[in-house]
A and B are shown apart, each in its own frame.
Chain A
Amino acid sequence: MKQILAVTWMNLRSIPSRYMTSLVVVVGIALVVGVLVAMLSMSKGFEYTLKGTGKDTRALLLSAGVTAELSSYLGADVVPLLRELPGIQRGADGKPMASAELLVITELRRGEGDVNVALRGVEPAGLPLRPEMKLVEGRLFKPGLREVIAGRAATRQFSGISVGSKLQFRGSEWDVVGIFSTDGDAHESELWTDADTARSAFGRPGASAILAQLDPAKPPAEALKALKATVAADPRFQVDVLGERDYYSSQSQGVTDNINFITVFITVIMAFGAVFGALNTMYSAVAARQIEIATLRAIGFSGLPVMVSVLTESVALALIGGLLGAAIAYLLFNGLTTTTLGQSFTQVAFSFAVTPNLVLRGLGWALGIGLIGGFFPALKAIRQPVAEALRGA
């Protein structure tokens, strides 16, 4: 053990004399880990945004069998019936706390192209239903007028949205009268207007979905189950009832699966390249230490300390590279906001999230590359006949 420590320490201290070739390992691995962490932080950020949307105490009623709110449609005949369901909480005014909302897509300008932005028609009950929604600027839209309020992320991501600006769609101008925040969730990428205004402008009398407050008398999970059972038992409805949080969580799956698959694909190829670079470096490191190693063997050191010293060198270089890569990814990307198409064909703004977990994953890859890149040279170092090695230089 003492031998191992001594030889390893001696070797590590000699790295600066080989800094050029060592740099190849460090930078090569830093780039692999940097790309990996940056890409995964994108999918993590998207997941966080969607998983942070919705509350367990609210349910979403969609037409049966659809996977996204956009493709759901509840006719004007069933909407009033659904709103009056017994499992939905009633407000102080005795009316059900439920909002039948119409979700449509509008195209807004961004740079040289148009992007799909969600426009949500919200009923008056939909605002107290979402306590997380706060107006940060301007005022609310007025029913009957073509006015919208915009989510905070929407104002940053799409051009021409601020209080006082006008948007042009469905043959008329819509005034932006306010900006709202919803604690950074997916709704902040949307435009909101009055539900009836949206219905008449888009010629759709029904709703995409109904958001409802669950009966507070029971714990949320049971209240949800009860509401599900009520709806399923009624032959007038072909409606799915989902927990609002569950619905939004499920919406991140497709996008994150795609990003993760592509990331792993790219990382595997980059890691291959880095392994060969590391092998070159470590072989030349062993070659440079040829006489030293042979001398150690000659005076009685066993193979193990030598092998450990070589492996430790490559792993140390790899971990430095990994940390460097993760740090670069963190500095460049963490918190950076961007948008992508969500499950509903509309833009969802999210921020890159470099989490400790992702950094550990990156270091895991670095460790793997370092071990493979160091193992074969380490083997060569102890297999070399001592006499020949001493003569070699």
Chain B
Amino acid sequence: MKYVPLVWAALWRRKARTIFTLLSLTAAFLLLGMLQAANSLFSGGSINLSAPILIVQARVSFTNPLPMRLLPQLEAMPGVVSVSHSQFFGGVYKDVRNFFPQFAVNPERWHKTFLECHLPDEQYQAWTQSRTAAIAGKQLADRFGWKLGDRIPLTSQIWPLKDGTRAWTFDLVGIFDDVSKDSCVRQGNMYIRYDYFDDGRQFGQGGAGIYVLRLSDPNMAESVSRQIDARFENSPDETKTQTEKDFSLNFLRQLGNLNLILTGITVAVFFSILLVTGNTMSQAVRERIPELAVLKTIGFGDGGVLSLVLAESLLMCVIGGLAGMLLSVVVLKIISKLPFGFPPVTADLHVWLFAAASMVGLGLVVGILPAMRAKNLSIIEALAVR
């Protein structure tokens, strides 16, 4: 511990170089933090969908609506507590770029199935009482500054009204929040009433969309899924049943091999920061050789000198790395507030562990060669340089 000031002083021996190296480290870890947070979202690490919820879709594609007549059969499945149906509405709010998903649902069924969403009682009552009523997640409402009582015009890309026009209007009567902070997967959604939607649309009546099932026990997910799919096998309405988490992951995976791209960039960033810090450390030791020799002369052992250099390299990587990681948290927060509708990406424990391991690993790798050089220094030769 008493050597901390010594290491600290060595680090700041050349201020400009250290600051530039730290800034370079900060930029690298800013990027690493964000890329790994995104990576952990795409690989399912940070998708918080542990609720015992199954999604039943048509085997052929989730865009192909399942008929409403499946409802009683699904409700009768053992282990199923409640069933909600959900039809993608495909509405555009003012501009195509304002994308957010809307679903036509039955309010009572929604209320019983989506227990993770908290909708105040009087707002729920209002929703059940008016056919044009709709509710929105808090994140979505904040994004567009919606208040209760607002009229929300949506142009459906999929469903024309009976007269062939596409301009639907809904009244916002409820804004739901999440029961717990970590399950905000539906906060960006809007829910409209199925009865109003089904009566109003030009075609497709009686189509339910997909079914969302709540189970009594999450451990039953696999067996219930298998039973449901077996039940409808070889019928025109073959089903594919999976947990909500798998459903979402499969969707993200379809965007491409994001994992590979993110890993590729991470490796590139890592490699360049390795060179920058490695260069700094080797210069730092090279120009300090006489000083290190003096340290040895006054009694520092070979191991002591080695530790001093390694400590300096570690300290530099940790300071720069932490600064970058903290910055990445701030930037991710800002991005999630921007009106682009990005999925909420946060740096979870996994990401922090990765970052911590990277900082220490980087510090050791770039420190070890200069440290060995310092250790193997012969005092006579080193002092003779002058």
Contact = CB atoms under 8 A, between A and B. Distances in A.
Contacts of B283: 21, 284
Contacts of A104: 60-61, 63-64
Nearest to A284: B283
Contact of A203 (B160, B236, B256, B268): B236
A68 B282 contact: no
Point out which of B21, B160, B279 has the most chain A C-beta atoms below 10 A from its C-beta: B279
B20 A169 contact: no
Contacts of B158: 66, 71, 73
A125 interface: no
Interface in B152-205: 155, 157-158, 160, 164-166, 203
Given A71-B90, A113-B250, A280 B21 contact: yes
Nearest to B157: A71
B275 A277 contact: yes
A341 to B, nearest CB: 5
Interface stretch (B22-30, B47-55, B114-122, B301-309): B22-30
A31 B274 CA distance: 12
Point out which of B164, B276, B280, B283 has the most chain A C-beta atoms below 10 A from its C-beta: B276
A64 B250 CA distance: 31
B11 to A, nearest CB: 15
- Ranked 7 nearest A-B pairs via Cβ: A273-B27, A105-B61, A276-B24, A277-B276, A276-B20, A238-B164, A272-B27
A38 B268 CA distance: 12
A67 B166 CA distance: 13
Nearest to B21: A280
B269 interface: yes
Point out which of B164, B234, B254 has the most chain A C-beta atoms below 10 A from its C-beta: B254
A74 to B, nearest CB: 11
Contacts of B112: none
A314 B61 CA distance: 55
B272 A274 contact: yes
Interface stretch (A22-30, A93-101, A175-183, A354-362): A22-30
A117 to B, nearest CB: 9
A281 interface: yes
Interface in A162-205: 169-171, 202-203
A181 B271 CA distance: 42
A280 B17 contact: yes
Contacts of B90: 71
B310 interface: no
A334 interface: no
B166 A65 contact: yes
Contact of A105 (B21, B60, B155): B60
22 contacts: A27-B272, A28-B275, A28-B276, A31-B268, A64-B164, A71-B157, A73-B203, A113-B249, A116-B63, A169-B60, A238-B164, A266-B31, A269-B30, A270-B272, A273-B272, A277-B272, A281-B279, A284-B17, A284-B283, A338-B256, A341-B254, A345-B63
A106 B61 contact: yes
B143 interface: no
Interface in B239-278: 240, 249-250, 253-257, 261, 264-265, 268-269, 271-273, 275-276
A89 interface: no
Contacts of A116: 61, 63, 254
B60 A280 contact: no
A295 B368 CA distance: 37
A277 B272 CA distance: 9
A148 B166 CA distance: 34
B22 to A, nearest CB: 8
A279 B16 CA distance: 9
A217 interface: no
B16 A202 contact: no
A28 B275 CA distance: 8
A341 B256 CA distance: 8
Interface in B302-325: none
A277 B268 contact: no
A269 B31 contact: yes
Task: Report whether over half of chain B's contact residues are helix, strand or loop; otherwise say mixed.
Answer: helix
A39 B61 CA distance: 30
Interface in B1-37: 16-17, 20-21, 23-24, 27-28, 30-31, 35
A95 B272 CA distance: 65
A107 B272 contact: no
A258 B234 CA distance: 40
Contact of A279 (B20, B31, B249, B268): B20
A347 interface: yes
Interface string A123-163: 00000000000000000000000000000000000000000
Contacts of B27: 269-270, 272-273, 276
Contact of B157 (A38, A65, A169, A338): A65
Given A105-B64, A274-B24, 5 more contacts: A64-B166, A107-B240, A202-B60, A341-B254, A347-B254
Contacts of B256: 338-341
B151 interface: no
Contact of B23 (A31, A39, A71, A272): A272
B111 interface: no
A327 interface: no
A216 B157 CA distance: 32
B96 interface: yes
A198 B64 CA distance: 13
Contacts of A21: 279, 283
Interface string A105-126: 1110000011110000000000
Contacts of A38: 264
A283 B287 CA distance: 14
A169 B272 contact: no
Contacts of A280: 17, 20-21, 24, 276, 279-280
B223 interface: no
A154 to B, nearest CB: 15
